[in-house]
Amino acid sequence: MISRVCVNCGSNSGADPAFMAAARDLGECLASREITLVYGGSNVGIMGAVANATLEGGGNAVGVIPESLFQKVGHQDLTEQYVVSSMHERKQKMFDLSDAYIILPGGYGTFEEMFEILTWAQLGMHLKPVGILNVAGYYDALLTFLDSAVHNRFVSEVHRNMLLVDSSPGLLLDRLEQYEPVVSDKWLDRREET
């Protein structure tokens, strides 16, 4: 059972109002299901929207933020706020606190966090489900690129399918709950030799 979800997302609001609306919808959904939000601890952009909606819905929001960012954009009204010394420590703490991951629209930091957690799963370092909330087609081009990586034999199809995708917060949470972990060797050529 999933009791804590790490949400990786942008500290900007994005161009399409649908991005902020989806963040609020996800926060409300987490609160209604009594799932604790774990996120980057900011009060701005999509990050702030998902946290505020979770709290307004009566849920718990746990932030993890480096000291350097806390002084600029740290959320002051969370259920818990961990102030850490580095981005590496932040990601490890968020991992330790979470049962699953949801990726909302964001930029470089969001992409990096998503790919790192997927890489850890691919290497068998964890069995936590990871899903993209694909708002207004924001991740369509990335998903096409990942399909190209499969076609070009840099990612196996089984590992590509580890990344769950939905445009509905409720349906994505259902899929995360039902996720069957992938246990498969990363190295395509080595698999074919055995």
Judged against a pLDDT cut of 70, whether residue 192 lies above it is answered with no
* pLDDT given for residue 72 in this prediction: 96
Buried residues in 132-168 as b, exposed as e (16+ CB within 10 A):
bbbbbebbeebeeebeeebeeeebbeebbebbbbbbe
Give the global pTM: 0.94
> Could you tell me the pLDDT band of residue 41, with boundaries at 50, 70 and 90?
very high
Judged against a pLDDT cut of 90, whether residue 189 lies above it is answered with no
Judged against a pLDDT cut of 90, whether residue 44 lies above it is answered with yes
Write out pLDDT tens, residues 48-103. 999 999 999 999 999 999 999 999 999 999 999 999 999 999 999 999 999 999 99
Average predicted confidence (pLDDT) for the chain = 95
Judged against a pLDDT cut of 50, whether residue 194 lies above it is answered with no
Q: Hey, what's the torsion of the CAs at 103, 61, 120, 68, to 10 degrees?
A: 100
Tokens of 138: 């924001």
Is it true that domain 4-139+158-185 has CATH number 3.40.50.150? no
Residue pair 149/155 in contact (Cβ under 8 Å)? The answer is yes
